[in-house]
């Protein structure tokens, strides 16, 4: 059942919030994908379910489309009283004293949090293998990854443990695991969901967003979490909506051509291209005006993204010094040594690599060559997308360059893991919204199509997603 269907049954009195919550909890406890880092205490869930039930019975939650529905939350989103680790040893025992705005809003809407989901350490990765708590396996094939970094949230939805989950997307971390697990995921317009309480990775690109099995659940959950928040000065309200009639679709030409060039290096699969062509055919059949176009700067998106993301990460992660948060090394000589040992032991390899990269590109003598250049490229990519949106309502491209890699494949080759983010990272550089829709399967493994829209077009994107799903 979808979240909305469950909420209706609860509203009609066919099932109780407690029954639904406990069933989800039991499924989470029996999970074989390692989707959860923390599963909530049974007592905690029962108390919460009863509280929500009372609110529903008294008519208090009449407006909420998802009242009583169980939800899983990515472990970089702060939950008051529930451990929030970011998939890192650094925060292994960190229990936040406050909740993220998105969490406050799902609580106010009567959702019941079942647990916190596994993720790449601080969101840095594309497979959930950089997690201190071990990899998440793909619900459709345990020898493969679930994608990342929101691998736990996508797997929890795909495995039917919860109907909906929250993830975060800095360079694809909602859309890519959604594609690999065969569910839907929305990366909203930058700023439409408050980042207050989302542990920062790359602040200029981080966004919280929903993962679900259909577009109605995605919209319902997005409606609950979005909107301005005075605690996040980059948060904004949604200003426009576009109608679906006479949809003009631009298909990224590189999808078909460049793509094959990439396949050798990234292991991209013919299945992705085939599924994509099939989808475009269906669109045309339904009367959409489809045209091919190309993004000249696509090749520069991955390098620009990783330079900017690592620069921001090195600054954001400076706060984890063994003094203010979480983990501290046991043995050290003096203050400097304490910092060094804490950060070497507390962070995993991928996070340390990115901090070093970020420090390097921001350092004197290299700043102009790398960081500043990447910022300029980011602006040019932005301008290219904006020009495309003068012609097209939506842009179509694949979400991933291939099917889910085998476990272990990506860890040994970080550069090819970065390259596999080819189609997701440009979206974050520009700040526009995109939704990933399952586009078919090959040997039981999913691929995803990404529908990309101009700023603030998420309602139209989700309608388009539903129309051609």
* Residue 358 interacting with ligand GLN (CB under 6 A): no
Element holding 220 (H helix, E strand):
helix 215-225
Nearest distance, CB of residue 184 and ligand GLN, angstroms = 16
Active-site annotation holds for 173? yes
Binding mask 395-424 for ligand GLN (x = CB under 6 A): --------------------------x---
Stretch of 101-109, 165-173, 334-342, 382-390 lying at the interface with ligand GLN (CB under 6 A):
165-173
For ligand GLN, the binding residue among 70, 87, 96, 172 (CB under 6 A) is: 172
Residue nearest to ligand GLN (CB): 173
Stretch of 124-132, 263-271, 331-339, 453-461 lying at the interface with ligand GLN (CB under 6 A):
124-132
For ligand GLN, the binding residue among 126, 138, 192, 268 (CB under 6 A) is: 126
Task: Give the active site residue among 99, 168, 173, 420.
Answer: 173
Residues 205-264 that bind ligand GLN (CB under 6 A): none
- Cβ nearer to ligand GLN, comparing 107 with 173: 173
Is 343 within 8 Å of 324 (Cβ atoms)? no
Q: Which two tokens stand for residue 408?
A: 């272990």
Stretch of 171-179, 257-265, 271-279, 446-454 lying at the interface with ligand GLN (CB under 6 A):
171-179
Stretch of 163-171, 219-227, 239-247, 360-368 lying at the interface with ligand GLN (CB under 6 A):
163-171
Cα-based distances in Å from 316 to 206, 270, 313, 359, 367: 12, 39, 5, 11, 17
Element holding 39 (H helix, E strand):
strand 36-39
For ligand GLN, the binding residue among 170, 213, 255, 316 (CB under 6 A) is: 170
- Cβ nearer to ligand GLN, comparing 123 with 152: 123
Q: How far apart are CA 8 and CA 66, in angstroms?
A: 8
Name which of 190, 239, 150 is nearest 427 in CA terms.
190
Q: How far apart are CA 104 and CA 93, in angstroms?
A: 22
Q: How far apart are CA 301 and CA 303, in angstroms?
A: 6
Give CA torsion, residues 425, 427, 433, 436, to 10 deg.
-50
- Cβ nearer to ligand GLN, comparing 213 with 424: 424
Stretch of 117-125, 384-392, 448-456, 461-469 lying at the interface with ligand GLN (CB under 6 A):
117-125
Nearest distance, CB of residue 280 and ligand GLN, angstroms = 26
Chain position carrying tokens 């829209």: 453
Task: Give the active site residue among 74, 116, 187, 459.
Answer: 74
For ligand GLN, the binding residue among 128, 173, 255, 266 (CB under 6 A) is: 173
Q: Total residues at the site for ligand GLN (CB under 6 A)?
A: 13
* Residue 76 interacting with ligand GLN (CB under 6 A): no
Is 388 within 8 Å of 430 (Cβ atoms)? no
Is the omega angle on the peptide bond into residue 21 within 30 degrees of 0, that is, cis?
no
Task: Give the active site residue among 99, 149, 168, 410.
Answer: 149
Is 255 within 8 Å of 388 (Cβ atoms)? no
The partner residues of 274 in beta bridges, in order of sequence, read: none
Name which of 242, 364, 374 is nearest 297 in CA terms.
374
| 23-32 contacts, C-beta under 8 A, 24 or more apart | 24/70, 24/112, 24/114, 24/161, 24/162, 25/70, 25/114, 25/115, 27/159, 27/160, 27/161, 28/72, 28/114, 28/115, 28/156, 28/161, 28/162, 31/156, 31/159, 31/161, 32/137, 32/142
Active-site annotation holds for 363? no
- Cβ nearer to ligand GLN, comparing 44 with 315: 315
For ligand GLN, the binding residue among 65, 309, 449, 451 (CB under 6 A) is: 309
Nearest distance, CB of residue 125 and ligand GLN, angstroms = 5
Ranges of beta strands (E only) in 237-312 are: 248-252, 289-293
- Cβ nearer to ligand GLN, comparing 55 with 127: 127
Instruction: Tell me if residue 75 falls in helix, strand or coil.
Output: coil
Nearest distance, CB of residue 180 and ligand GLN, angstroms = 12
Q: Which two tokens stand for residue 382?
A: 């932005």
Q: Which two tokens stand for residue 57?
A: 């019975």
- Cβ nearer to ligand GLN, comparing 309 with 437: 309
* Residue 171 interacting with ligand GLN (CB under 6 A): yes
Nearest distance, CB of residue 171 and ligand GLN, angstroms = 3
Q: What is the binding site for ligand GLN (CB under 6 A)?
A: 123-126, 149, 169-173, 201, 309, 421
The catalytic residue positions are: 74, 149, 173
């Amino acid at each position: 059942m979808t979240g909305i269907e469950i909420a209706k049954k609860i509203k009609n009195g066919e099932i109780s919030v407690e029954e639904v919550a406990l069933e989800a909890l039991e499924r989470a406890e029996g999970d074989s994908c390692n989707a959860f880092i923390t599963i909530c205490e049974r007592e905690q869930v029962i108390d919460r379910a009863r509280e929500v039930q009372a609110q529903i019975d008294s008519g208090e939650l009449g407006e909420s489309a998802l009242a009583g529905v169980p939800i899983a939350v990515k472990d970089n989103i702060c939950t008051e009283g529930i451990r929030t680790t970011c998939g890192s040893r650094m925060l292994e025992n960190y229990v936040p004293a406050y909740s993220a705005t998105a969490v406050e809003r799902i609580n106010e809407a009567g959702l019941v949090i079942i647990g916190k989901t596994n993720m790449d350490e601080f969101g840095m990765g594309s497979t959930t293998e950089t997690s201190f708590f071990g990899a998440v396996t793909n619900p459709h094939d345990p020898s493969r990854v679930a994608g990342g970094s929101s691998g736990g949230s996508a797997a929890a939805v795909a495995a039917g443990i919860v109907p909906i989950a929250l993830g975060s997307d800095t360079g694809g971390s909602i859309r890519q695991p959604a594609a690999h697990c065969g569910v839907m995921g929305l990366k909203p317009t930058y700023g439409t969901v408050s980042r207050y309480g989302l542990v920062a990775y790359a602040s200029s690109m981080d966004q919280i967003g929903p993962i679900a099995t259909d577009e109605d659940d995605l919209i319902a959950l997005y409606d609950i979490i979005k909107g301005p928040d005075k605690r996040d000065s980059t948060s904004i309200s949604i200003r426009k909506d576009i109608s679906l009639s006479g949809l003009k679709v631009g298909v990224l030409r590189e999808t078909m051509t460049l793509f094959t060039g990439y396949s050798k290096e990234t292991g991209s699969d013919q299945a992705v291209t085939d599924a994509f062509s099939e989808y475009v055919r269906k669109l045309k059949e339904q009367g959409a005006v489809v045209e091919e176009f190309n993004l000249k700067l696509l090749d520069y998106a991955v390098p620009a993204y990783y330079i900017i993301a690592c620069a921001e990460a090195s600054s954001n992660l400076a706060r984890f010094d063994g003094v203010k948060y979480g983990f501290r090394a046991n043995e050290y000589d003096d203050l400097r040594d304490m910092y060094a040992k804490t950060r070497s032991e507390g962070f995993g390899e991928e996070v340390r690599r990115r901090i070093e990269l970020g420090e390097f590109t921001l350092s004197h003598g290299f700043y102009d060559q790398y960081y500043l250049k990447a910022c300029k490229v980011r602006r040019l990519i932005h301008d290219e997308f904006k020009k495309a949106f003068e012609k097209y309502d939506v842009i179509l491209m694949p979400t991933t360059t291939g099917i889910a890699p085998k476990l272990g494949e990506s860890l040994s080759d970080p550069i090819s893991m970065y390259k596999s983010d080819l189609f997701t990272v440009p979206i974050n550089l520009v700040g526009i919204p995109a939704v990933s829709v399952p586009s078919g399967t090959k040997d039981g493994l999913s691929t995803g199509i990404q529908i990309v829209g101009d700023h603030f077009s998420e309602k139209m994107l989700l309608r388009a997603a539903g129309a051609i799903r």
